[in-house]
Chains A and B, each alone.
Chain A
């Protein structure tokens, strides 16, 4: 995964991007506290694919959703992050 194909900028070096968290750990203010805790402080942490929120921090600064394999680093998809989409 040395290259990430930003939907806005094209292929860029991984060093331009920062990992934020998994998609399933995003919380909203109206969630019950148990759900917030579960989402913030636990991770499936699979030895395989997960969906992750990344940011093209040192490029266009857009938030992105990566479907990425954590052992091979293969990236199956990079999509713009749309907060209202159900994950």
Chain B
């Protein structure tokens, strides 16, 4: 792998941009790998990278049915933060945040991680109590959290409607200054390039259509490019977890749902932090290109349509405009959807499955982008050693039977209520 650097860029600029090599190979599948990861999203690719880099497992293939990063990795609103209330969640996400902070250097790829702050607004006394509790819980775990007065919030985001008769009056906020956004495609490409350099085969246009079983154990996968043998198989397919698990006759505590996002025409910098809310499901940030990126609720019923309900966009837009009235002047230029893997308690599953040799990383709902490096780190540990990484141990497949669920929203075990 030729290293990218300012010097290399300058040299190529003076020589007509010739001589760049491709970022990763386009290999033919080999007959057998030690580990096969199904799904070339950020989670699958980071898993492969850490398998090779941390555990020295280099006989690894990532099989992607389309192009890498074409799933939820390339469709999300790129918010990265670790300020969850529940300890197992914030420990895992904060470990991931630490990896985000060094990711561009580690991968020699600019993932444009931008720690511009992740702000939750509070709209009532009850909201502020909850935000204060969450902040306390975070600080007890050594994670940065700062409760903000309305004045401080206003100074940070001057375009917010701070008037007392605003539709959603602003009583203050909780900010995680280390949170922010990143360039989603670059995350997939950066991990693919770095994994490839470690000897991992990143194989695109290769859909897994079945699992090969022998003696109650998974020994390989059937694909659109032939049968490939494997010592261990890791599912990492986000919204498609159900159909892939069904290949092993398994049912999961997961239901697929559509989640949408949309973006406005690009404008000059107007919001330089990520704005979210304790009571509303609306999140606002500005991309480096200038578009205001907005997201809202999922459709709240099972769907693989990758096309969501217009009323969800309308609601998110209405909430965003109520918070930042200036947004009403912008035109929306694009909307899109992804199929999210909604788990029953809203938390992920990183676990062995009840079939030997088969593992699952899924159930990230609509919050898994921020976990990408941590998820891959823990999944690589599981696939390399057969043992759960301590940070991932609470996210077991059997926690629904034992009752040890991790329910951040506190709404009970229903995927459509997340």
Cβ contact within 8 Å between B252 and A19: no
Cβ contact within 8 Å between A44 and B311: no
Cβ contact within 8 Å between A70 and B413: no
Residues of A within 8 A of B305 (CB): 70-73
Residues of B within 8 A of A40 (CB): 400, 413
**Contact of A41 with B by CB under 8 A:** yes
Cβ contact within 8 Å between A43 and B252: yes
Cβ contact within 8 Å between A19 and B242: no
**Contact of B281 with A by CB under 8 A:** no
Tell me the complex Cα distance, A29–B138, Å: 40
Known pairs A42-B251, A43-B254; A37 contacts B242 (CB<8 A): no
Give, as a whole number of angstroms, the nearest-CB distance from B411 to chain A.
14
Give, as a whole number of angstroms, the nearest-CB distance from A41 to chain B.
4
Cβ contact within 8 Å between B242 and A47: yes
Tell me the complex Cα distance, A15–B314, Å: 13
- In chain B, what residue has the closest Cβ to A73? B305
- In chain B, what residue has the closest Cβ to A66? B301
**Contact of A52 with B by CB under 8 A:** yes
Known pairs A37-B401, A40-B413, A44-B246; A73 contacts B251 (CB<8 A): no
Residues of B within 8 A of A46 (CB): 242-243, 246
Residues of A within 8 A of B76 (CB): none
Residues of B within 8 A of A20 (CB): 416
Known pairs A41-B253, A41-B344, A41-B400; A19 contacts B301 (CB<8 A): yes
Give, as a whole number of angstroms, the nearest-CB distance from B298 to chain A.
11
Known pairs A41-B413, A46-B242; A52 contacts B302 (CB<8 A): yes
Give, as a whole number of angstroms, the nearest-CB distance from B330 to chain A.
25
**Contact of B326 with A by CB under 8 A:** no
Cβ contact within 8 Å between A45 and B300: no
- In chain A, what residue has the closest Cβ to B405? A41
Residues of B within 8 A of A15 (CB): 309, 311
- In chain B, what residue has the closest Cβ to A43? B255
- Which secondary structure dominates where chain B touches chain A? mixed
Cβ contact within 8 Å between B413 and A45: no
Which residues of A from 4 to 49 have beta carbons under 8 Å from B?
A: 14-15, 18-21, 37-38, 40-47
**Contact of B304 with A by CB under 8 A:** yes
**Contact of B388 with A by CB under 8 A:** no
**Contact of B240 with A by CB under 8 A:** yes
Most buried by A among B240, B301, B401: B301
Cβ contact within 8 Å between A44 and B242: yes
Known pairs A14-B309, A19-B416, A37-B401; A43 contacts B303 (CB<8 A): no
- In chain A, what residue has the closest Cβ to B401? A37
- In chain B, what residue has the closest Cβ to A41? B400
Residues of B within 8 A of A50 (CB): 302
Residue-by-residue, is B230-268 near A (CB-CB < 8 Å gives 1, otherwise 0)? 000000000011110010000111111000000000000
Residues of A within 8 A of B256 (CB): 45, 47, 70
Give, as a whole number of angstroms, the nearest-CB distance from A67 to chain B.
13
Contact pick for A43, options B253, B304, B309, B401, CB 8 Å:
B253
Most buried by B among A15, A40, A70: A70
Contact pick for B302, options A41, A70, A72, CB 8 Å:
A70
Tell me the complex Cα distance, A74–B303, Å: 11
Residue-by-residue, is B387-418 near A (CB-CB < 8 Å gives 1, otherwise 0)? 00000000000001100000000000110100
Tell me the complex Cα distance, A2–B256, Å: 19
Residues of A within 8 A of B416 (CB): 19-21
Residues of B within 8 A of A44 (CB): 242, 246, 251
Residues of B within 8 A of A45 (CB): 241-243, 246, 251-252, 254-256, 302
Which residues of B from 339 to 383 have beta carbons under 8 Å from A?
A: 344
Give, as a whole number of angstroms, the nearest-CB distance from B98 to chain A.
32
Cβ contact within 8 Å between B243 and A19: no
Can you list 24 A-B contacts with CB-CB less than 8 angstroms, sorted by A residue number? Answer: A19-B300, A19-B301, A19-B302, A21-B414, A37-B400, A37-B401, A38-B251, A40-B413, A41-B344, A41-B413, A42-B252, A43-B242, A44-B251, A45-B241, A45-B243, A45-B252, A46-B243, A47-B304, A52-B301, A52-B302, A70-B256, A70-B303, A71-B305, A72-B305
- The 6 closest A-B CB pairs, nearest first, are A45-B242, A19-B301, A42-B251, A41-B400, A71-B304, A41-B253
A45-B252, A52-B302 known, 8 other contacts, Cβ within 8 Å: A18-B300, A21-B416, A38-B251, A40-B400, A44-B242, A46-B243, A47-B240, A71-B303
